[in-house]
Every structure is written in C-alpha cells, then in structure tokens.
Amino acid sequence: MTKTGGICINQLKLNYTHDMEKAMYSAHGVCFADYSRKLDVRMKVERRREREYLQSQHILTNIEKKLHY
C-alpha cells in the first residue's frame, strides 16, 4: 500500500497472461503493471469500460424492442 497526500492506494496483485496484457494494451493503451499500480489509470480504464457496457446494453435493448414488434 502506498500513501499519497493522505490517501492510501492499494496496488492490485493480479495474475495475468501475455494475451491478457496484449488485449489490455490494445483496448486501453496501458499495460497491466500501470493498471495495477496507478489509481488514475485504473479509474480511466474502468470509466471507459462502464461507458462501453452501458452503450452495449442500450444497443441490446433497442434490438430486443425491434424483435418484439
């Protein structure tokens, strides 16, 4: 755990494969080491994932509406 400006930040201890590393870099432009070590990077990635998830749910809802009419 590191402490910066009175805030404690836990470093994630993640097990990951080479393919996971490539996918993370390809999708988000960061490596797992930075993702696990830097809170700002982690938050940026997670916000983007959340936004993409919500967009996919919106698309799915629209498709389901069209199928039921």
Structurally, the chain folds into a number of domains equal to 1
Pair 54, 65: CB distance under 8 Å: no
* Residue ranges making up the domain that contains 63: 2-67
The tokens 């470093």 sit on which residue?
11
Confidence (pTM): 0.69
30-59: per-residue pLDDT in tens? 998 899 889 999 999 999 999 999 999 999
d(CA 47, CA 69): 34
